[in-house]
Structure 1
Amino acid sequence: MNTYLSQSNPVTARWESEDHLRDPKFQLDAFRYRTSRLLQSVAARLQKHTKTLGSFGAWNRCLNHLLTLAESHIESVILAKFIEAVQNCPDASSQAALKLLCDLYALDRIWKDIGTYRNVDYVAPNKAKAINKLTQYLSFQVRNIAGEFIDAFDLPPYILRAPIAMQSEAYSQYTQLVGF
C-alpha cells in the first residue's frame, strides 16, 4: 500500500497554523495523498469494469477519472519543482516573493479540491476554513507585488489586456467596491 494513504492523522488533520499550512512538506504530502487516493480509486474502477467491458471499454469508462489522476500527478510534480526552485533561489527578496506564489498555488489547489480531503478526514473543518482564509490573504499579498512579477516574467501586452490587469477607472471602482 502507498505510504501516503496511511497518513490520515487526526491530530495533523486539525493543525491550522500559518506555519503548518505554508510548510512545503504539508503541501507536498497533501498533493501526493490526493494522487495516491485517485490512483487507488482508478485501479479499483478499472479492475471492476474490465470484467464486464474488457480493457478498452473499462479504460473509456474511467477516462474522466484517469484524466483527474493525471492532472493530480502533474500538479504534484509542479509543486515539487516549485518548492525546489524557491529553496534554491539565491536572492532573499526573490525567494520570499516566489515562496508567496508557491504557497498560494499549493493552498489554492488544496482548497479547490477540499472535498477530496474532507471526505476522508485528511483535513478537518477548522483546517479547511484556515486554508480558505490563508488563500484569500495570500491572494491579497500577491496583488501587492503583481507588477513586479509582470516585469520579471516579461509578460506581453496582450496578456495584460485582461480586465483584471487594466488600470481603468471602472476597474479601480470595482476594486474599491470589493474592498481592495
Structure 2
Amino acid sequence: RPPDAPPLSIGELTLRHRRFCIWPLCHSHRLVNLGFNANTLRVVKLLVWVAWYMASAEGGEGLQNASDPGDVVEPLRQLSALSNEVERGAATQVMPEGDEQLVSKTRRLHRYQEYERHLAEVLLRIMTKMKAQQRDDLGGLIRSESQRRSATMRVPFVDKQGQELSSL
C-alpha cells in the first residue's frame, strides 16, 4: 500500500500500516542506516518473535510450542505473507467483511500488531527506567523526554517538581 494510504479496516478491526510496525525492520537495512548495532537488531527480532508466538494462541500459550528465539525467519515469512494476503484481499473485494477467511486472517494480524505494540511499550518503559537510574529525578527525565519536539506522547501525570527515584 502507498505510505499515505489510510489505515486498513475490515469490520471493527483496524490495522496499522506496516511502516508503523516493527517487523518490517527485521528484513530491512534501515536499522543499519539508523546507526543501530547488531544487538539492537537482536532485540527487535526477539520482540517480533515473542509477539508472533503470543498472537498465535490465546493467552500467549503459543510461546510454549515456539521454535528457537534466535530463529525469526519463519515468523517473518508468515507475517509478511499474512500481511500481503490481508492487504490484497481487502483491496480487491467489494465487501471484505463477508469473507470469513479474510476476517480471520485480519483478526490474527490485528492480534499480532496489538502484542507487538504492547511489547514495544513495555520495552520502552524498561529502557526509560534503566536510563533513569543514572539520575535521581525519574519524573524530570520523563517530563524532559515527553516535552522534546520529537516526542510521540505527552506525560500529563508527572508533577513539576519531580520525585526522588527511591520514592517511586
- Do they fold alike, i.e. is TM over 0.5? no
User: What TM-score comes out, normalization by structure 2 length?
Assistant: 0.34
Relative contact order higher in (CA < 8 Å, ≥ 6 apart): 1
Larger Rg: 1
